[in-house]
């Protein structure tokens, strides 16, 4: 993106940045160790207890794509260094973007020229909006000079339809297209990559990830930050690097900007290049430290497992005793605050949520119905042909950009939440909802595929009727699963919006008292019982009761085609052999990027679990290794 920052990150600067990263990890390490033991205990407890009833869905669940599966491939104009080049761009099932020199090198298995993980990216299609975002990211004190211009490489742009990809703490990327249809297709897959890179890793149910989420949550609270954090995205190393950069940037601005030895027109380029170099250095340092920390915790958990299994009842009794003490002092004030400061606003916030989200889900239903209807008309003669297989493959990944845009209007609907609840991270809610919608549409296409094959096999002489029958089944099941998914999303959003506000408000009252309660925990079991986890579980239960009431009331009134009692619907649909795999229940405190509470509270609905294992392997490697890759595989989704 411009000049090399090597002259700015000299040995002194590099050592200072490494020191900041190591200091952050040192402060974070005790939180992670504590939560690792707590989460590990909870998973052993779940293993020993009877499994909880799981919410059913009707559509057949389609699994995540294989990491090497090709989701998109196209010749794309990409700006590199000082000029535009034609590159063969491939997106695989791990949602990484690969730039190959040509189609021929891709086919031969030559590693890509580079790989792009667009975590946290913002996609823009006009120079004006891109320039405005760049200016926001540059230190304010340096933007006063009106003669200073930072322009994207529009000179000689070979097409009329540009795509600007703005990335936090990293260089930006520029693409260009000669046809708007190809630009739209690229925008769709690039947006998918950003959403999945942001969230897939943090949705994993492993001990390491869940412990990390809760540790970050408590670590930020210890520093006075209770809000939903916008930079809780990507891998654990990237999240910690984002924490470091938030504290490091003011120092870089103060110490380095005054000494930039560049012309005014180059200052932004040099600054952004310097920030990227610092970000890479921070990640390299943290990768090594986090790897060692996780290995240390895995070994400790292995040693603790014998004690956990032999003393499970005693540990649970210790936790129950502490919970009773906490509940006696916390429950009444928490419920009072919920009823007075939160409950009166839940219904109005829900109304603002339901419109855009339900509109997006309804448009996706109409799109799926239209595509299935067209397929039924095109293949009335019957038989499973290659053309039918290709049409079904196309059906499985429609362009949902217009549906996503309806959900994206939540940014306009929920702008007042910052003033009322201090909530501003609407992007996380939007991304999670869009991923859930994508999964639902893929499930509908997959179910139609299976039903269609079965109906054609059972009734080969009347293929047209068999196709229509399959289509109507899928639409009915879509409606049920859409209601289930949206109720979970609404519940999750209401909790995610209001719970941090409750915790921040009550913190001054209970922060000191919580420290004193640690002495009530049996010393032998202190690794598995944590005061703050139990305290937040009690707050969550108080809020949860109010949230469930307001969501169920909306369903009772059949707002936006929400369902209440689904027993009759399930019994009608159970004759289908495609009653699918259940949703995996998880905790509402983990929604919208909030780490989950894994003890003391009952399971409640949350965002749909989507593609939990699609985080690219490269994300778990040091930044310097991101370009290393073996031969690409084949496959078409």
Question: What is the per-residue pLDDT across 596-629, written as a single tens digit (0 to 9) for each?
Answer: 333 333 333 333 333 333 333 333 333 332 333 3
Predicted local confidence at residue 326, as pLDDT: 93
Predicted local confidence at residue 154, as pLDDT: 61
Predicted local confidence at residue 510, as pLDDT: 87
pTM of this structure: 0.84
Residue 115: strand pairing partners: 98
Distance CA 241, CA 231 (A): 10
Quick: pLDDT tens for 352-389.
Answer: 999 999 999 999 999 999 999 988 888 776 666 778 88
Predicted local confidence at residue 151, as pLDDT: 57
Contact 597, 540 (CB under 8 A): yes
H/E stretch holding 615 reads none
CA separation, residue 541 to residues 205, 327, 339 (Å): 22, 11, 13
Q: What is the chain's alpha carbon radius of gyration, rounded to the nearest angstrom?
A: 26
Distance CA 617, CA 637 (A): 20
Instruction: Indicate the pLDDT class of residue 489, thresholds 50, 70 and 90.
Output: very high
For the residues 34-60, what does the mean pLDDT come to? 90
DSSP state of 600: S
| DSSP-H helix ranges across 99-206 | 103-108, 127-137, 180-199
Identify the residue whose tokens are 């649909």: 573
Q: What is the dihedral of CA 435, 440, 443, 444, to 10 degrees?
A: -140
What value does the mean pLDDT of the chain take?
83
- CB-side exposure of 617: number of CA atoms within 13 Å? 9
Distance CA 374, CA 146 (A): 55
Instruction: Indicate the pLDDT class of residue 49, thresholds 50, 70 and 90.
Output: confident
Distance CA 162, CA 622 (A): 31
Closest CA to 587 of 205, 90, 14, 178: 205
H/E stretch holding 226 reads none
Report whether pLDDT(491) > 80: yes
Distance CA 307, CA 301 (A): 10
């Amino acid at each position: 993106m411009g000049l090399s920052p090597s002259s700015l990150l000299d040995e002194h600067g590099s050592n200072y940045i490494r020191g900041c990263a190591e200091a952050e990890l040192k402060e974070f390490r005790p939180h992670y160790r504590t939560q690792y033991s707590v989460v590990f205990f909870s998973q052993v407890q779940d293993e020993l207890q009877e499994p909880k009833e799981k919410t059913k869905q009707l559509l057949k669940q389609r699994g995540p794509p294989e990491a090497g599966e090709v989701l998109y491939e196209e010749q794309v104009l990409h700006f590199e260094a000082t000029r535009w080049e034609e590159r063969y761009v491939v997106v695989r099932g791990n949602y990484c973007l690969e730039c190959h020199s040509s189609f021929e090198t891709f086919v031969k298995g030559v590693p890509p020229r580079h790989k792009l993980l667009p975590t946290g990216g913002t996609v823009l299609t006009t120079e004006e909006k891109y320039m405005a975002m760049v200016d926001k990211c540059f230190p304010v004190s340096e933007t006063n000079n009106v003669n200073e211009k930072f322009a994207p490489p529009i000179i000689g742009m070979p097409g009329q339809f540009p795509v600007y990809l703005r990335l936090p703490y990293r260089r930006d990327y520029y693409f260009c297209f000669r046809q708007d249809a190809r630009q739209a297709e690229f925008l769709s897959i690039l947006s998918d990559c950003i959403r999945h890179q942001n969230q897939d890793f943090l949705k994993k149910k492993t001990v390491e990830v869940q412990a990390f989420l809760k540790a970050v949550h408590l670590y930020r609270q210890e520093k006075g930050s209770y809000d939903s954090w916008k930079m809780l995205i990507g891998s654990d190393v990237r999240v910690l690097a984002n924490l470091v950069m938030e504290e490091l940037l003011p120092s870089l601005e103060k110490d380095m900007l005054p000494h930039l030895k560049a012309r005014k027109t180059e200052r932004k380029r040099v600054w952004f290049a310097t920030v990227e170099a610092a970000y890479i250095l921070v990640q390299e340092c943290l990768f090594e430290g986090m790897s060692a920390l996780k290995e240390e915790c895995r070994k400790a958990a292995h040693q603790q497992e014998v004690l956990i299994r032999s003393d499970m009842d005693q540990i649970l009794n210790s936790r129950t005793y502490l919970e009773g003490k906490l509940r006696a002092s916390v429950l009444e004030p928490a419920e009072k605050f919920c009823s007075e400061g939160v409950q009166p606003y839940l219904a109005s916030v829900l109304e603002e949520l339901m419109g855009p989200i339900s509109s997006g889900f309804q448009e996706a239903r109409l799109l799926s119905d239209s595509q299935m209807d067209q397929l039924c008309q095109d293949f009335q003669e019957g038989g499973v042909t290659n053309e039918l297989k290709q049409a079904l493959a196309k059906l499985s990944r429609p362009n949902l950009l217009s549906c996503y845009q309806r959900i994206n209007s939540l940014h306009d609907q929920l702008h007042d939440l910052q003033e009322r609840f201090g909530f501003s991270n609407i992007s996380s809610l939007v991304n999670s909802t869009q991923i859930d919608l994508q999964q639902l549409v893929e499930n509908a296409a997959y179910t139609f595929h299976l039903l269609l094959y079965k109906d054609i096999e059972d009734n080969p002489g009347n293929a047209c009727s068999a196709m229509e029958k399959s289509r109507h089944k899928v639409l009915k099941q879509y409606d049920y699963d859409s209601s289930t998914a949206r109720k979970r999303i609404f519940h999750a959003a209401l909790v995610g919006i209001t719970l941090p506000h409750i915790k921040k408000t009550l913190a001054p009252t209970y922060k000191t008292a919580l420290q004193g309660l640690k002495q009530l925990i049996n010393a032998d079991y202190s690794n598995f019982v944590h005061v703050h986890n139990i305290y937040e579980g009690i707050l969550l239960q108080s809020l949860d009761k109010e949230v469930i009431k307001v969501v169920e009331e909306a369903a009772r009134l059949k707002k936006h085609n929400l369902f209440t009692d689904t027993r009759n619907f399930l019994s009608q649909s159970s004759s289908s052999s495609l009653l699918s795999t259940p949703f995996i229940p998880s905790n509402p405190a983990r929604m919208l990027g909030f780490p989950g509470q894994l003890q003391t509270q009952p399971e409640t609905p949350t965002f749909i679990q989507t593609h939990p294992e699609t985080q690219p392997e490269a994300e778990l490697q040091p930044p310097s290794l991101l370009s290393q890759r073996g031969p690409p595989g084949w496959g078409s989704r």
